């Protein structure tokens, strides 16, 4: 662990075994039907382009200039929580002869994705970008429903954990209700929180120094402990038969 300031620290694995380094910034969020659909859509909107790189082509070109850097924003469901992850994978500067140009470029790119999204003249996420992201999420949901194994697993979880956050799944109707106004409000709400930072590579001290420079003071804090809320036994056996076209 490296101390960034009085409230922040970086957890790191110092290693020179790999030619690439990885940085993970994570947020632990509550699963809530009001906010979780926004969180899922938000990652898709943020990952397409930024104010600094206002097209997917410009963003891809910058990644190529950084020798194939890979920035990403995604969410994972874990028990009764949603984990939001800002992620960057990039070639270590030491492999390219030294300096700090690549690591600075990769962190600047990741910060741009999070802190400088493309907004319209009203300060909202553009309606066409939100619609495109919503369509992608809906397609994933429908694809999962057409996979018998995935559908059965999800249905079992929803039935066994009914009434608990673990039993919630984002539905197409939930996604369709998200508007640019609602998504932008959720984004601004998340901006006020902090990430936990984890780094794997050969320059942890430099990463600890650069994090507040690129993401702002207080944006990186400690890790939120995960204490999953237990699901109480249902009290009886349920049998659910469902005929589906396969």
Please count the helices (runs of H) and the strands (runs of E) in the chain. Answer: 8, 7
Closest listed residue to residue 200, CA positions, set 60, 56, 103, 59: 103
What tokens does 49 get?
């382009």
CA 4, distance to chain mean position in Å, is 22
What tokens does 103 get?
């690591």
Q: Is the dihedral of CA 105, 111, 113, 117 positive or negative?
A: negative
Model's pTM, two decimal places?
A: 0.90
Q: Are 107 and 135 in contact (CB under 8 A)?
A: no
Four-CA torsion 191, 27, 78, 186, nearest 10 degrees: 0
If you count them, how many residues does the chain have? 246
- pLDDT means per 10 residues, the chain with 246 residues, are 80 94 95 97 95 94 96 94 96 92 96 96 97 97 91 92 93 97 97 91 94 84 75 80 81
Q: Within a 10 A sphere around the Cβ of 184, how many other Cβ atoms?
A: 21
Closest listed residue to residue 87, CA positions, set 110, 108, 53: 110
The DSSP result for 196-224, as a single string, is EEEEEES-HHHHHHHHHHHH-TTSEE-PP
Residue ranges in the chain assigned as alpha helix (H): 36-46, 56-65, 101-115, 127-145, 148-160, 172-176, 180-191, 204-215
Please, what is the angle between helix 180-191 and helix 127-145, to 10°?
Answer: 90
Beta bridge partners of 3: 9
Q: What is the pLDDT of residue 192?
A: 86
Q: Are 91 and 67 in contact (CB under 8 A)?
A: yes
Q: What is the pLDDT of residue 222?
A: 67
First-to-last C-alpha distance (Å) of the chain? 51
């Amino acid at each position: 662990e490296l101390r960034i300031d009085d409230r922040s620290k970086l957890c790191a694995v110092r290693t020179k075994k790999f030619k690439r380094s990885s940085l993970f910034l994570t947020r632990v969020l509550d699963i809530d039907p009001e906010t979780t659909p926004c969180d899922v859509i938000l990652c898709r909107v943020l990952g397409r382009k930024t104010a600094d790189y206002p097209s997917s082509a410009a963003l891809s070109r910058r990644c190529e200039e950084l020798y194939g850097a890979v920035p990403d924003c995604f969410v994972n469901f874990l028990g009764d929580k949603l984990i939001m992850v800002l992620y960057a994978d990039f070639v270590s500067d030491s492999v390219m002869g030294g300096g700090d140009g690549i690591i600075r470029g990769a962190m600047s790119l990741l910060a741009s994705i999070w802190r400088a999204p493309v907004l319209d003249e009203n300060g909202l996420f553009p309606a066409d970008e939100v619609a495109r992201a919503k369509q992608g999420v809906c397609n994933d949901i429908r694809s999962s429903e057409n996979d018998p194994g995935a559908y059965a697993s999800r249905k079992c979880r929803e039935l066994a954990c009914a009434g608990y956050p673990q039993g919630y799944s984002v539905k197409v109707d939930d996604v369709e209700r998200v508007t640019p106004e609602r998504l932008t409000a959720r984004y601004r709400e998340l901006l006020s929180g902090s990430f936990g930072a984890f780094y794997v590579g050969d320059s942890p001290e430099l990463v600890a120094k650069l994090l507040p420079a690129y993401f702002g003071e207080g944006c990186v804090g400690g890790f939120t402990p995960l204490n999953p809320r237990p699901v109480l036994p249902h009290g009886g056996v349920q049998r659910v038969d469902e005929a589906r076209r396969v």
